[in-house]
Amino acid sequence: MAEPIAAGPASRFESMPFPEDSYSEAFGSPGIIRDHWRALMAAFSSIPPGTLDQRQERVRRMRHEDGATFNPFDDAGGQGTPWALEMIPLPITADEWSLLESGLNQRAQLLERILADVCGPQDLIRQGHLPAELVFANPNFLRSCHGIAPAGNRSLTYYAVDLYRGADGRFRVFRDYADTPAGIGYALENRIVISRAFSSLYHKNQIRRLAPFFHTLHQSLIDRSPLRRDDPGIVLLSPGPDSRIYFEHALLSRYLGYPLVEAQDLTVRKGEVFLKKLAGLEPVQTILRHVADVHIDPFVGSRSAAGGVAGLIQAFRQQQIDIVNPVGSGFVDTPALAAFLPDLCRQLTGTELLLENHPSWYCGTEAGRSHVLANLSRLIVEPAMQRFAPVNPKDDPASGIAAAPHLYMACEPIRPSTVPAWSPGKAAPRYTLMRFFACACENGFTFMPGGLAITAGDVETLAGNEPERQQSKDIWIFSDRPVVPFSLMSSLQTVSTFKRGSDLPSRVADHLLWLGRYLERSENMIRLLRSVFRRLAGEARTVDIPELPFLLNLLRSKDSIPNVPEGQEDPLRYRELSVQLKDALFRQDRSGSVAANLKRVQQAAKSVRDRLSLDCWRVINHLDGFAEAPGMDPLELLDETLFTLSAFSGLAMESMTRGLGWRFMDMGRRVERAINQVHLINIALPLVCNDSRSALEALLEVSDSIMTYRARYRTAFQLAPVLDLLVMDESNPKSLAFQCSQIAEHVEALPRQDDLRYATAEERLALEMLTAVRLLDLSGIDCKTGNDRHAALRAFLEAMDHRLTDFAQQVSAHYLTRIPSTPHFSTMRGDRAL
């Protein structure tokens, strides 16, 4: 630890005001820094304010690059609310942590015994230690889980708790979480970011690492697996990208190495649980769930929930699957349960509760009801059964309590401690709660030596359920002995067999396929609009740009700008056209706009974010800036966005293994590019002969092949060589022939259920497309009147259009529609969806 800094004005933090009626984590009295805070205060005080602002911005940027958000789709723009992280950590001494750990361990074991009794013999109800209404009238109690013996007889596997320090300096428990404890992924993200941003400070102090806790969690899941084996089949079950903490699910999946699945990925067959994959069904032994009790199985919980697995509870009852936390553990989340813990602790363990509860009273008991009614003016009345349930302020609390006392509880107003936080240019105090996490182990519970400090500028926001208005801190637990480096990867078991290739769930393949299509669709639109803006940026009037009608027709065909009413000529007025082109860039309610396509790219990427590398995800996050740049020069914005998409394509090409995930994403790109090329040539063919040079040049430009043409032919633009380059040249990655060749190669690598001796429907279509394009004869095609080659080419393009549509539908039917999937947007032509 660094030398203590002298009291006085030397530190910009010492003069920071803090509420006198709250405990200050950093200061014993005004201007006097607590010993374990001195090193931090000295380090941050030695950095100029401007540099601290830059560091805070760096922390924000690192979180944005990692994609740390809440509520991915909570606003009209489809962007997530950033996970706010303050750069000054919250330190806790080794001695204080030792006392805290003992109290938390006692509490976790007590809650586990209560949970085992409520879901089992229910002796506590019969003996009068728990009111029957608190159980049987409680939506957190699932009758369908009564009598189920969880794996290892551990009723509580994973647990989180919120603490606060009162004005007297004593820790008290504010909330318990056991149904789907949230925050551990954000605590891990905080540690990763802060240790990178302040690596020197981090390594100078003896701070306990988080990795050993995750190793213990992983090992406990393996030890509890119903069928012990080298590969226990552990999956992490998430509600999906619509979850407000989907970032956490993806981060934990990547860090622990568990497949991230959704309910539609799992199925129950003859009492066993399987993961649906392209090559078939794969057994699952353990589910680390982030889906609430009532949504886990539509047969026994909320039938309207789309996130459940039908039959999962029955498989759990038959001990064919281990679910963590066991279904039914949500009873621990009941707010009023805390009021009974002191008596239950004495009854079940013969000891006093080491960690006090936040003062609360249950109105379902006579003593509790009397106390609440006598002190109604200073207490906060809340629902007894469900956390954050609304209470109508217009209702008279006394009348509500008299009518249904078992539904209400009351508690004292919370007055938590404050911590220093850095706001631009100065330090300021913020109120804080501390969330800690535990997992079951052989001798009780082990707690993560660190946690998540949640902060807010006012107590109401801190105690509420609005994480987008809160901030967070990393909690540092100091060690009184040298910290041994520990890596989670080095602690995992070794493998006895090598695995090549990759199998993946059908849902993931579906999203990857459409991610490829949306990426290609976005690039096509950007290249087309860039060609238009380049021409409008010059001195020429719109009527003097001969290829402009051709380019605008392409935009209309993609529903990017409105169609010209039948019988009217296109006036090409610059102001009107400027408005239409701006809409083609930014209007998200127009299906063909760049903004709408980029939003689909981000949504598809979020659905498979555990399959994307951190570099790929950082590139995807850069697309957030598009919606925020309507005042930017259109050409500059389009160039930057195309550069971003090209960076993603390059990363995918160079860093993704050539497994099924990459093949489906690339196959989506090839299908979309082939469809776009057929579409472009079909529209261009009747127009290029009117002004062949300008229209052919524009066609090559939007097809990203103009440099290839000039380097190869060094002549004026002619119809035959242009069509040969864009249709038949298999060496040109933008040609139709190249796409068909790649599609055929991908199809050959797709898995088969059995050894068929005949080609599948998609294989036949891929071969037909490749053969047709190779046999196409373009010799003699020109712009002469009556050239019958035009009719043959148009017939070929129409046939290819149908084959590509049929191919896309056949792949979806064969591999991707075994389960309901997220609907994707298609370009409609007539009655055919592409």
* CA 364 to mean position of chain CA atoms: 40
Q: Which two tokens stand for residue 513?
A: 């396929």
Place of tokens 């090598």: 498
Q: Is 648 exposed, middle or buried (0-12, 13-18, 19+ CB in 10 A)?
A: buried
Residue 692: the pLDDT is: 56
Q: Where are the domains of the chain?
A: 94-170+208-358, 510-655, 658-834
* Residue pLDDT, tens place only, 28-81: 887 788 999 988 988 888 888 888 889 888 888 888 777 777 654 444 344 567
**pLDDT greater than 60 at residue 165:** yes
159 CB-near residues (< 8 Å, 6+ apart): 108, 111, 176, 177, 178, 181, 325, 332, 437, 438, 439, 445
3-state class (DSSP) for residue 437 = strand
Taking every pair of Cα atoms in the chain, the longest distance, rounded to a whole number of angstroms, is 101
Which residue reads 């003069």 in tokens? 15
In this predicted structure, what is the pLDDT of residue 511? 92
Whether residue 491 is predicted with pLDDT greater than 70 in this model: the reply is no
pLDDT tens-digit readout, 700-730: 999 999 999 888 887 778 888 899 999 999 9
β-bridge pairing 322-324 and 286-289: parallel
Encode burial over 804-823: b for 16+ CB neighbours within 10 A, e otherwise: bbbbbbbbbebbbebbebbe
Lowest-confidence pick of 449-453, 649-653, 822-826: 822-826
Amino acid at 720: A
Spatial CB neighbours of 764, under 8 Å, sequence gap ≥ 6 = none
Work out the mean pLDDT of the chain and round it to a whole number. Answer: 85
pLDDT at residue number 565? 63
pLDDT of 589-648, one tens digit each? 888 899 999 999 998 998 888 888 888 888 888 888 786 677 788 899 999 999 999 999
Q: What is the pLDDT of residue 820?
A: 42
Residues 6+ apart with CB under 8 A from 600: 514, 518, 824, 825
Convert the pLDDT of each residue in 529-554 to its tens digit. Answer: 999 898 888 777 777 788 888 888 88
Q: Mean pLDDT over residues 269-290, rounded?
A: 90
In whole angstroms, give the CA distance from residue 105 to residue 219: 19
Please give the radius of gyration of the chain, using alpha carbons only, rounded to the nearest integer: 32
How far is 371 from 379, CA to CA, in rounded Å?
Answer: 10
Positive or negative, the CA dihedral 212, 214, 216, 219 is negative
423: helix, coil or strand? strand
pLDDT category, 831, cuts 50, 70, 90? Answer: very low
Which H/E stretch holds residue 173?
Answer: strand 171-177
- Is CATH 3.40.190.10 the classification given to domain 94-170+208-358? no
Omega before 71 cis (within 30°)?
A: no
Q: Which residues pair with 433 in a beta bridge?
A: 454
Residue 431 has pLDDT above 50, yes or no: yes
Tens digit of each residue's pLDDT (9 = 90 or more) over 767-814: 999 999 999 988 878 776 556 788 889 999 999 999 999 999 999 888
Q: Poorest-confidence range of 95-109, 231-245, 560-574? A: 560-574
Q: What is the pLDDT of residues 445-479, one digit of tens each?
A: 999 999 999 999 999 999 988 888 899 999 999 99
First to last CA, the chain: 64
Residue 31, burial from CB neighbour count under 10 angstroms (0-12, 13-18, 19+): middle
